[in-house]
Amino acid sequence: MADTPQPERRTRGRPRAFHDASAQNVIQSLDRAMMILEEVSRHEGIGLSDLANRLDQSPATAYRVLVTLEKRGIVELDPASQNWMVGAQAFLIGSRFLRRTSLVERARPFMRRLMEDTGETANLGVARGDQVLFLSQVETHASIRAFFPPGTMSPLHASGIGKALLAARQDGYVPAEGLEQFTAQTITTSPALLDDLAATRDRGWAFDDEERTVGMRCIAAPVFDATGEAVAGLSVSGPVSRVTPQTVADLGTAVAEAASRLSAALGHSPAE
């Protein structure tokens, strides 16, 4: 007796055409709402007219979206300034991203020790597309310090962690030409970036020399998991008055050693 054909099994939570990202599967109103939320998140506070102009949306449409998000606590309105800003619920939703991995929890002791050893703020970040997403930070006790709160994004080419992760990639990927310039020190061409990444691999750590923010420097090294993949970057950052040409090499050694210890805690074996 011939076997009866079995119906194709579907992964729960996905429709048959779950690979189809065409316009018919995009909810336009929801897409617009997410675009508005993303723009609000880029500012400490933004007015309705300014927001609508930046996104080429009508103020009435933007207002309806904002009121809907406000009802859920995802955005808030400051009655005094009439500016909109990210609400507490947005933070609560976003922070649940960290539950997907023990990376942040495992990294905290190494970050604290790195901050104590160097006297500078320690940071942990991962690559998301052409950006670095900062996951955690241990601040220095010094009065002048770098500040990258969890959720901050920075371009790979203008970030110590970003360049450390690019240098560790095995596929030779670098961002395309036309790299955005933030300061006079920013690397803006692929050949220059490739030279910088080669130097990073040679010495074992990356150096952001006021390339994203004038007056601030950052030294970073990649963190590897048990498979040998660079899953994160560890860094220290501080003002040029303390992170000087005379101290950069020592800081680079400290960061590379901390990243190596964290990698080992994640199961990485350099011999492999």
Question: 132: closest CA among 98, 95, 162, 167?
Answer: 162
Q: What is the pLDDT of residue 18?
A: 47
Q: What is the pLDDT of residue 165?
A: 96
Please give the DSSP secondary-structure letter assigned to residue 79. Answer: T
Q: What is the pLDDT of residue 232?
A: 96
Q: What is the pLDDT of residue 74?
A: 94
What interhelical angle do 28-41 and 59-71 show, nearest 10?
80
| DSSP states along 170-182 | SS---PPSSPPP-
> And the tokens for 163?
């360049």
Q: What is the pLDDT of residue 194?
A: 92
CB atoms within 10 A of CB 139: 14
Rounded distance between C-alpha atoms, residue 223 and residue 124, angstroms = 9
Strands 121-128 and 131-138: antiparallel
Show the domains of the chain with their CATH numbers.
23-92 (1.10.10.10), 101-265 (3.30.450.40)
Question: 69: closest CA among 40, 42, 105?
Answer: 40
Q: What is the pLDDT of residue 129?
A: 86
Kindly report the pTM of this predicted structure: 0.68
| Residue matched to tokens 């992170």 | 243
Q: What is the pLDDT of residue 42?
A: 87
Q: What is the pLDDT of residue 125?
A: 95
Per-run averaged pLDDT (10 residues), the chain, 272 residues: 51 51 71 93 92 94 95 94 92 70 86 96 93 92 77 91 93 76 94 94 96 95 92 95 94 97 88 58
Rounded distance between C-alpha atoms, residue 51 and residue 65, angstroms = 12
Compute φ and ψ for 58, nearest 5 degrees.
-75, 145
